[in-house]
């Protein structure tokens, strides 16, 4: 059974956490942690997933810290931007080489793979590393996947990647979890388009189709390998995401 993903939280309308949990700078007490864990589990039941009790600490810590501290942006440079009537349709960027904490999962569905992977990454970020403390959050968290030759099916292997904060780029912490690998990713050139809401197989396939319609016959882009970048906190309605098309000459 896979774990709940960050995007699942945005779909829960009738069981939202009280503002005093997510907006307060005070440490959570046991009751608040119980309510927060129950919140995640309530969403999980709707997606046929389970959230184990050991996620209580990481969920509470990341919820609190994401309210109180500024998240670090993965560095990039914009090469070009296409706009229409003041709206950014898409932009081309270069991301420099850097170190990422990566985990590959092959669950039945895309959203299950990223759920299980992100929960493991949460524990790594919060404490379960050679550093033994909270590492700091970077955005976006990026999922890389491939589609079949006909473009209709997701390949089972999904790589979820967390960019290590700047202070750890030269001396990465060692993960306690053997499923997590610190990977040096070379510079990549991508074309990015924003979308909002949840990220499931259905919504991502639709976003890929829309993006290809927008780009037309643009050449030099991978046709079967894609990335989804997620920026927002778990409880944010209409959360911001991006679909990334990868340049073959990157």
What pLDDT, on a 0 to 100 scale, did the predictor assign at position 68?
A: 55
Mean pLDDT over the full length of the chain: 84
Q: For residue 5, what is the DSSP state?
A: P
Rounded mean pLDDT, 59-68: 78
Which phi and psi (to 5°) does residue 62 adopt? -70, -35
Predicted confidence band of residue 9 (pLDDT cuts 50, 70, 90): very low
Rounded mean pLDDT, 30-43: 80
From 198, 232, 234, 197, select the one nearest 36 (Cα to Cα).
234
One DSSP character per residue, 160-187 reads EEEEPPGGGSSSPPPBSSTT-EEEEEPP
Whether residue 187 has pLDDT greater than 80: yes
Q: Can you read off the two tokens belonging to residue 15?
A: 């069981």
Predicted confidence band of residue 94 (pLDDT cuts 50, 70, 90): very high
What pLDDT, on a 0 to 100 scale, did the predictor assign at position 38?
A: 85
What pLDDT, on a 0 to 100 scale, did the predictor assign at position 6?
A: 45
What pLDDT, on a 0 to 100 scale, did the predictor assign at position 15?
A: 43
What pLDDT, on a 0 to 100 scale, did the predictor assign at position 79?
A: 95
Q: Which residues pair with 100 in a beta bridge?
A: 163, 183
pLDDT in tens, 121-149: 999 999 999 999 999 999 999 999 999 87
- H-assigned helices in 127-246: 201-215
Query: Do 182 and 101 form a contact (C-beta atoms < 8 A)?
Result: yes
What pLDDT, on a 0 to 100 scale, did the predictor assign at position 114?
A: 86
From 65, 47, 14, select the one nearest 198 (Cα to Cα).
47
Tell me which fold the domain 72-247 belongs to: Multidrug-efflux Transporter 1 Regulator Bmrr; Chain A (3.20.80)
The full set of domain ranges for the chain reads 6-68, 72-247
Whether residue 20 has pLDDT greater than 50: no
- H-assigned helices in the chain: 19-22, 30-46, 56-68, 110-126, 201-215
Q: Quick check: pTM over 0.95? A: no
Q: Can you read off the two tokens belonging to residue 190?
A: 């991508």
Predicted confidence band of residue 37 (pLDDT cuts 50, 70, 90): confident
């Amino acid at each position: 059974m896979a774990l709940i993903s960050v995007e699942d939280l945005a779909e829960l309308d009738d069981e939202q956490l009280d503002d005093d949990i997510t907006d307060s700078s005070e440490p959570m007490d046991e009751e608040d942690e119980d309510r927060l864990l129950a919140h995640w589990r309530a969403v999980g039941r709707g997606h046929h997933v389970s959230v184990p009790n050991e996620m209580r600490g990481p969920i509470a810590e990341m919820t609190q810290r994401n309210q109180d501290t500024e998240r670090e942006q993965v560095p990039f440079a914009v090469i070009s931007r296409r706009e229409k009537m003041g709206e950014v349709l898409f932009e081309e960027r270069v991301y420099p080489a850097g170190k990422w904490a990566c985990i590959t999962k092959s669950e039945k569905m895309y959203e299950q793979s990223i759920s299980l992977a992100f929960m493991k990454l949460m524990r790594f970020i919060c404490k379960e590393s050679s550093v033994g403390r909270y590492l700091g959050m970077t955005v976006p968290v990026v999922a890389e996947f491939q589609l079949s030759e006909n473009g209709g099916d997701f390949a089972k292997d999904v790589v979820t990647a967390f960019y290590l904060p700047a202070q750890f780029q030269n001396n990465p912490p060692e993960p306690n979890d053997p499923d997590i690998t610190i990977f040096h990713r070379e510079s990549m050139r991508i074309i990015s388009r924003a979308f909002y809401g949840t990220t499931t197989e259905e919504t991502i396939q639709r976003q890929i189709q829309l993006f290809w319609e927008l780009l037309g016959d643009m050449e030099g882009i991978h046709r079967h390998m894609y990335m989804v970048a997620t920026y927002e906190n778990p409880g944010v309605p209409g959360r911001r995401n991006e679909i990334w098309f990868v340049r073959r000459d990157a």
